[in-house]
Amino acid sequence: MSMFARTRGFLGVLLLVIASAAKSELLTPMMLAYTKPGADVATESKAVRDRLTTAGFRVLGEYAVDDNARVMVFTSDELLAAAASSDRGAYAAPLRVSVTRIGTELQVSYNDLEYFRHAYQLDRSLAGAMSRLANVLGAKEAFGAQGLTPAILGRYRYAFGMERFGDPYLLATYPNRERALAVLEANLSTGKGGVREVYRVDIPGRDATLIGVAIREEEGAEQYASDRFNLATVDVGDRRHTAYLPYEILVDGGRVEALHMRFRMALHFPDLSMMGENSFMQLRRSPAAVERALTAAAGG
């Protein structure tokens, strides 16, 4: 074999290795745990909840989006440690697991923790928690995007001029976290802005609390702010992103914020079209409406 042939062969193998490595680090927002025939969302949700609590995850709350979709929110010592490792890292504390009925099939899915920890700019790996989830619930199919690298996720925005992780809604400011939480508790208990609490988790070692909320039109929210409207507009594929919900409000000291919808929605649906049917353009009124609802809840 000539030197040229050997060199060409070596380069071919090297390119295959590089391509394989690049593909292996691509991450997607959602993981389908399993599907099964069935129609009883509540019963399947209880089974999922029991399996995860037995595996050491703690239930934070549950959100019945409608009769066909339910989201359970969990955390664990590993997730809380990751959340406490960085400023604004609290967004990584919740694990969201959904049960969605599509026709005669139940889909059980969860948010990919490694995908979101990169998007939330955390250095601490959550691969161990993902492996545990795969063992407990399953990991049938990653979905929600063709795949993004950790480097892209760390500075992610959907398009030029749109918000990144560091560009949240500033909902309100208070002298301290205790005052902020008191106002939020009062407003959420009455559904101000159409917003109610789903869960609350304090971040250990940090002056921070993350509150998951439901935004519902029947509670008084504008249509364009409501969870059902926004999710139904874009979540039309074979695999459903129900675990996009619930939205989060972060109380960090006296500062109350939430991820901008143009960042948060795009992060969960990075491959959605900008224009056309079931596109981001159909949600053009929603970011401002969501901000108004959350600001009302925060007392801003």
Across the chain, which has 300 residues, the per-10-residue mean pLDDT values are 46 38 75 97 98 97 97 98 97 98 97 98 96 97 96 96 97 98 98 98 98 98 98 94 98 98 97 83 95 97
Q: What is the pLDDT of residue 275?
A: 82
Which residues have a Cβ under 8 Å from the Cβ of 24 and sit 6 or more positions away? none
The residue whose two tokens read 């005669």 is: 104
Let me know: does 195 contact 188? Beta carbons within 8 Å.
Answer: yes
Q: Enter the tokens of residue 87.
A: 């400023």
Q: What is the pLDDT of residue 24?
A: 53
Q: What type of residue sits at position 295?
A: T
Helix (H) / strand (E) element for 32: namely strand 30-37
Cα-only R_g, the chain:
20
Let me know: does 123 contact 150? Beta carbons within 8 Å.
Answer: no
Q: What is the pLDDT of residue 279?
A: 77
Closest CA to 235 of 108, 114, 102: 102
Q: What is the pLDDT of residue 62?
A: 98
In this structure, what DSSP letter does residue 40 have? -
Q: What is the pLDDT of residue 1?
A: 52
Burial (CB count <10 Å: 0-12, 13-18, 19+), residue 120:
buried
Q: What is the pLDDT of residue 22?
A: 43
Whether the model pTM is above 0.75 = yes
In this structure, what DSSP letter does residue 254 have? T
